[in-house]
Amino acid sequence: MKFLNIILILILYFYSYPSFTSNYFDLIPIEVSKNVYVILGDNNDINKNNGGAISNTGFIVGDNGILVIDAGPSYLYASSVIEIINSYSKLPIKYLVVTHHHADHSFGISRYLEINTEIIMAEAEAKRYLKYGNRSLRQLSSLIGEEWFLNTKINSFQYKEKEYPVNLDLGARNIIIELYEEGHSDGDLIVKDLSSNTLFVGDLVFGQRAPTSPHANIYNWKNYLDEIIKKDWDILIPGHGNIIKNKEDVLQTKKWITFIDKTAKEASANGISALEIFNKGLPNFIKEYKLAKETWYRDLPLLINKYEFD
């Protein structure tokens, strides 16, 4: 009888397994400093298992409100994050800073609009989000399944013009938000929490992983990285990958973008097609980066194209 029960449980387990896992995010916040939390994304490409949750989300709890950094890839993801935040603190989520418009950072916006969170996003990036959002939503849905994007909408929201840097007080907790125009994206926001000396830099810095540059101005981006290295911080949270405490780790991003940019410029000057570069195999040094091949294949043609017929 006991044996039968076990079999029954096993059968039930396997039958229910897909429905349990298909839309479920396994999110574990890490407290990097007192009242500063990070939920690390899967440092991988968007796929059916991670549901698009590949970038890092942060939240900072003050005495009278909470600020969230990045909305994540979908309504469902944002809902899970909000649930977690509520389990830590009942204070209102006052602000959502969306570091830039890419889907893995912005598609959770619609969930935050429901709880009247103020969305802070660079104007140029808010425009891009509205302009290209539906198209990438469609592409992502067809790639990993519509069920991951249930209720996810590209809503327009009331846009408040800001003077950067923006200073916010969460209650005994001061936050500075700075704008870096036309670097990694048209407008990346970085968030500094003064009390913990923590810097959230979005995708201006990638940890371990190959930086993606489809909308980048690499010249500016390199300068911004130098500025970030010079800044005073103890903890740096990149858009993807692990928490950074060592300034040298920021150089990894700079090294990649310098290399891909140089390769693209040389190729476009000589009329070489990206395909011909791919055909030679991956350059050795980039192999140490996670997702090197995918990123190299995706970004190099875009960059060459950009330089070629300019």
Partner 1 sequence: MIKYFLILLILVYSGITVAGPMSDFKAGAELSEELSSSPTGKRNTPSSDSLIQSIEALNPNNSDIWSELQDNLLGKDINVLFVDDIKLIMQDYIEEAHKVPLIVTLPKRLHNFKNFILIIENNPIQQALSIKPYRSIEALGMNIRLEDDSPVRAAVLGDNGIWYIGSKMAFVASAGGCSTPACDPSVEVCETGTIGKIAIKQYEREAGAERIKLKITHPMETGFVTDLQGEIIPEYFVKNIHVDDNEGPIADITTFAALSSDPIILLDLPKKGQSVRIHVKDSLGLEFFSFKNNNTM
Torsion angle, alpha carbons of 217, 219, 220, 224, to 10: 120
Least distance from partner 1 to the Cβ atom of residue 210, Å: 12
Other C-beta atoms closer than 10 Å to the C-beta of 151 total 12
Backbone angles phi, psi at 181, to 5 degrees: -80, 145
295's enclosing H/E stretch is helix 292-308
Residue 287 DSSP symbol: G
Residues 17, 266, 275, 287: which binds partner 1 (CB under 8 A)? 275
Q: Which of 37, 148 has the CB closer to partner 1?
A: 148
Least distance from partner 1 to the Cβ atom of residue 148, Å: 11
Specify whether the CB–CB gap between 99 and 189 falls below 8 A: yes
Q: Quick check: 290 binds partner 1 (CB under 8 A)?
A: no
Least distance from partner 1 to the Cβ atom of residue 107, Å: 14
Which segment (26-34, 198-206, 239-247, 279-287) binds partner 1 by CB under 8 A?
A: 279-287
Nearest to 245 by CA among 253, 236, 255: 236
- For partner 1 (CB under 8 A), the number of binding residues is 32
Which segment (87-95, 200-208, 233-241, 269-277) binds partner 1 by CB under 8 A?
A: 269-277
Q: Which two tokens stand for residue 194?
A: 């003064």
Determine the Cα–Cα distance for residues 141 and 144; give it in Å rounded to an integer.
6
Tell which positions 148-167 bind partner 1, by CB under 8 A: 154
Tell which positions 55-114 bind partner 1, by CB under 8 A: none
Q: Which two tokens stand for residue 162?
A: 């800001």
Backbone angles phi, psi at 175, to 5 degrees: -125, 140
Least distance from partner 1 to the Cβ atom of residue 11, Å: 24
Specify whether the CB–CB gap between 178 and 164 falls below 8 A: yes
Residues 13, 282, 283, 285: which binds partner 1 (CB under 8 A)? 282
Q: Which of 138, 160 has the CB closer to partner 1?
A: 138
- Going edge to edge, which strands form the sheet with 235-240? 166-169, 174-181, 187-193, 198-206, 235-240
Q: Quick check: 307 binds partner 1 (CB under 8 A)?
A: no
* Dihedral sign of CA atoms 182, 245, 57, 134 in order: positive
x/- letters, 19..48, toward partner 1 (CB under 8 A): --------------------------xxxx
3-state DSSP assignment of residue 165: coil
Residues 259, 298, 306, 307: which binds partner 1 (CB under 8 A)? 298
Q: Which of 217, 268 has the CB closer to partner 1?
A: 268
Q: Which of 255, 298 has the CB closer to partner 1?
A: 298
Specify whether the CB–CB gap between 207 and 244 falls below 8 A: yes
Which residues lie near partner 1 (CB under 8 A)?
45-48, 131-135, 138-139, 142-144, 154, 270-271, 273-276, 278-279, 281-282, 293-294, 297-298, 301, 308-309
